Amino acid sequence: MSQSASVEWWNKSLDEVGLHGMDKLVDSSGSWDALLQSGREDLARALSLTDMTTGQDRAVLEIGCGVGRLTAALADRFGRVLGVDVAPTLIEEAQQRNTHQSVSFEVCDGVRIRPNGADFTCDTVFSYEVLYYLNRQSLTTYFEDAFVLLTSGGQLVFHLNMEPIRVSTRLSFLFRRALYACGIKQFRGWPTGAGLKRYFHSEAWLRQTLTRIGFRVERIVGPNLRQKWIVAVKP
Ligand SMILES: C[S@@+](CC[C@H](N)C(=O)[O-])C[C@H]1O[C@@H](n2cnc3c(N)ncnc32)[C@H](O)[C@@H]1O
């Protein structure tokens, strides 16, 4: 699947599956308030697992913010929040819905994380339910960019689904692409479509790559392989 197919899918996702595309656990008929509440709950779980440092004196960049579900929750805990996403329609929705003065949103190209403003730095780079859509090369580039954007002592905190890709997973990708081609946009509560291919990144590869870039990997934790959190610090 090409990067442009992925961007195209995400860009259409609001029209095709609604807010449900942000998180399958959000009811497809769910309200904006329910979406924000789910973001607060997801962030609270992330904080309890990762022990991520927060504070009103800190700035956070969120990769793959979508419509701003977790961005709003991050605004309650950080002084400044920048959400970036590849899908212009999602960023537009996020901007229209945003009620926090400390929050801003930008479209990124999906290749580099280059916020507008040459001197942008942050204390935390955060991402939830995004980075397993990136292949090794793209993910490595994002890690390198995060390292440059972070201040010394800053944290890169991100979620990955680390379940290995099995034959059944591949068949499921194909099946979902076929359903989408037939006009079926959701199956068993999951959106279909080519833009939803997941990549597997092993713990060994993550540790090696992050360490090579200069990070200190602090922890890789989570209740199961689908909900793994990685905390890496820029020394
Ligand atoms: C499952 S949604 C999660 C959105 C948000 N993090 C949340 O939990 O509500 C995945 C998001 O990742 C974005 N995305 C996909 N590939 C990306 C990339 N290469 N760079 C930045 N964002 C990306 C999509 O546009 C989409 O908004």
Structure tokens at 74: 């991050």
Q: In this structure, which residue's CA is closest to atom 19 in ligand 1? A: 110
Ligand 1 contacts CB of residue 131 (under 6 A): no
- Which amino acid type is present at position 42? D
107-127 per-position pLDDT tens digit: 999 999 988 877 889 999 999
Backbone angles phi, psi at 199, to 5 degrees: -110, 150
63-110 per-position pLDDT tens digit: 999 999 999 999 999 999 999 999 999 999 999 999 999 999 999 999
**pLDDT class for 13, splitting at 50, 70, 90?**
confident
In this structure, what CATH number is given to the domain that contains residue 225? 3.40.50.150
Closest of 62, 19, 17, 67 to residue 43, by C-alpha: 62
Give the DSSP per-residue string, 193-219.
SGGG------HHHHHHHHHHHTPEEEE
Tokens 């939803």 correspond to what residue?
196
Task: Report CA(21)–ligand 1 centroid distance (Å).
Answer: 10
What is the domain range of residue 66? 3-161+202-233
Q: Identify which of 130, 140, 159, 227 to mutate to test ligand 1's pocket (most ligand atoms within 8 A of the CB).
A: 130
Position 24 scores a pLDDT of 65
Q: Does any domain span residue 145?
A: yes
Q: Does any domain span residue 76?
A: yes
Q: Does any domain span residue 172?
A: no
Q: Does any domain span residue 118?
A: yes
Work out the average pLDDT over 185-191: 71
Work out the average pLDDT over 132-148: 96
Structure tokens at 140: 């490595």
Position 22 scores a pLDDT of 78
Q: Does any domain span residue 142?
A: yes
Give the count of domains, the chain. 1
Q: Identify which of 19, 43, 82, 86 to mutate to test ligand 1's pocket (most ligand atoms within 8 A of the CB).
A: 86
**pLDDT class for 41, splitting at 50, 70, 90?**
very high
Q: In this structure, which residue's CA is closest to atom 10 in ligand 1? A: 130
